[in-house]
Amino acid sequence: MLKAQDWWRGSVTYQIYPRSFMDSDGDGIGDLKGITERLDHVASLGVDAIWLSPIFTSPMKDMGYDVSDYTGIDPSFGTMEDFDALIEKAHGLGLKVIIDQVLSHASDQHPFFIESRSSRDNPKADWFVWANPKPDGSPPNNWQAIFGGPGWEWDARRKQYYLHNFLREQPDWNLHNPEVQDYLLGTMRFWLERGVDGFRLDTVNFYFHDKHLRDNPANFLPWGMDAFRPYDMQYCLFSKNQPENLAFVERIRALLDEFDARTTVGEVGDSHHSIELMGQYTSGKRLHMAYSFEMLGPNFSPDHFRSRIEEFFRKAPTGWPCWAFSNHDVPRHVGRWLPHAQDSDALAKQAAAMLLAFRGSICLYQGEELGQVDTDLEFHELTDPEGINFWPDHKGRDGCRTPMVWEASAANAGFSQANATWLPVKAPQAARAVDTQSGPDSVLNFYRQMLALRRSEADLQEGSMAFLDLPDPILGFTRGEGLVCLYNLSPNDAECETNETLAPLLSQGVTLGGDRIAFAPNGFVIARKTAA
């Protein structure tokens, strides 16, 4: 079994979006006390850790990913005492606590940015990325912002542009300045000393920019010109993924190594080299894990899952991935993959059985254990700037961020006593509340079964993984020496041959007969090899 220091290796983390988990004070916004109240539910699943999306002081232009105080708790979430109580309760339940760290950019309300923009010669003048305009007054280069428009914002006081990869209210730190690195590492030390067990590092490959501010070339992939946002029409060769990033990541790792049993998982977002970058960022004394975007899209084929996992371990044999199917930035996976299913519950269970059998660490997103799909929102209900800017071609991220549902018949499905919540709770989501899923065939009960199986079978946590050559739509692989995992990734019946005698541990819609296995739509089996 794994040593305590390496608890993260093969672990399962449950992502909590604090605004939407549980509201304890009736203001319509989830908070830390609410999370603490509901931690027993998370512990009952059998996960190892929780990950909290940002809880720091923020103007909330990007729902907390615009930080104005890295060592303060935003009043909408509670107090530092509430955070300490959450840590104590989580640790008492055997749950590690991982918090988001947003080190690539801050809020334009951060005191250091306010000072930086006041003049070109103040002590914080070069703590953010400033550049002169071109002679015609246009931005320094062609870099685009992810949320739309140029990646540069004009500031009349300094008569310069500042860089923002996201909203204009999220200026980029200048990490080429060692003082900035020291400051950000100091804020991380604050939380480590407070008892957190690790960090999820937001946009970890965005920390550094090209010092020469060279233009990004056009996106060479065929879908580039059809993208709904200009950002995706570029190959971001110079605005991110710079070599200096790796040296700073090593400084982060050195800091965590001063403490016992702490971990890092970095969000590596890239449309061109994501697997290669994941390998770079988790090799040597860098990150412990890299969080993958590779399974957060519409592709649901055996070849896709196999290629992503095989490529990672081929390119990064000493690295370690963290796989996920859903999070707060993408449509929930049951809805994304519903065209590949006849029944959403069968799909939800199959997805859990597949994800939780992969080699690597795993991240689950709140509500996926209920089989939730996105909430259908109208334009006037949106809060997400990405959705507001790109509506209706892209509806943004609010659909997957609506509140967690606890009691189907309660006000706001038990999330809040407020008359109105920050995002609405609607009937289709309330119908899948926790209290409706006590039956043995529920999605929630299946998650508990699958997580218990992962904990009890060392091969599912630590074992090797080898894919089987099977006809489409069957995905198959072995874990360790003793387990076989087979999945029908289609809404139709399917079958395959087997040379093994199998003793099922967990299955759905599968008939074993001689040397053939018959699968119902979205059928699967996780089985132990036995002597013939």
**410 near 22, Cβ under 8 Å?**
no
Task: Tell me the residue ranges of DSSP E strands in 141-204.
Answer: 152-155, 160-163, 198-201
d(CA 351, CA 357): 10
d(CA 471, CA 481): 22
* Cβ count near 350 (within 10 Å): 24
Enumerate residues 6+ apart whose C-beta is below 8 A from 89: 36, 39
Known catalytic residue at 376: no
The DSSP annotation for 486-504 comes to EEE-SSS-EEEE-SSEEEE
SS3 of residue 72 by DSSP: strand
- Indicate which residue of 23, 48, 66, 202 is catalytic: 202
- Indicate which residue of 136, 226, 258, 393 is catalytic: 258
Length of the chain: 532
* Cβ count near 211 (within 10 Å): 12
Known catalytic residue at 202: yes
SS3 of residue 387 by DSSP: helix
Q: Which of the residues are catalytic? A: 202, 258
